[in-house]
Structure 1
Amino acid sequence: MSYDQQSTPITAFELRRQLDGLVYTFVRALGAKGRTGFLREDGPYWIVHHVTLGWVAADFDSNEIMGRPWDLLTPQSPEAPPEGIWVSRKGPKSYVYDLVYI
């Protein structure tokens, strides 16, 4: 279900790693400088909306992108990241996730 079909705002989602089923939960949060994004429950990892790039996994104050939706053609609402396949990079490794609203 896309965000446009939702009647209530998305407040949380999961990234489910396809390789081994590991699940990360993200919740809507306010950053230190008053910016809204989604914060991972187990650490200071953010998924934020970038004006040019859309939704990405990144630090608010960094230009380093650590993850993003695989299908870049999917329309993105500024309210919540798109469901579907996401990819990430951690050092020399890459991972594939399913982003699912909860």
Structure 2
Amino acid sequence: MSTFTIPVRHIASAWREYAQRDGVTDPNVVLLALEAIQGEPLAGYRPAFRVPGKDLTVEIYACQPHRTSAEALQWIEWMLERLHDNGNIMLHDREVS
């Protein structure tokens, strides 16, 4: 599985390119929190999403990692909902709160 990193400002375009299929989010996409420095959880966590059908993980880079994996997951869920609300991406029905 390949992993690449994108800056926060490119989340919507990366989501549309890799996580959406026919304009709707692939239901197999998984939201993740990855260690900012592999093997060093105290360094913090970065939000990410995995697209199993494309054998791809996209890590989202910001200037500061989140302190916990839970914070990273909460942030990506929040951000995706905002992007959906303003029409930048289309989430699968089960993901919309």
Q: Which structure features the higher share of helix residues?
A: 2
What TM-score does the superposition give when structure 2 sets the normalisation length? 0.33
Q: Which has the higher contact order (CA 8 A, sep 6+)?
A: 2
For normalisation by structure 1, the TM-score amounts to 0.32
Higher strand share: 1
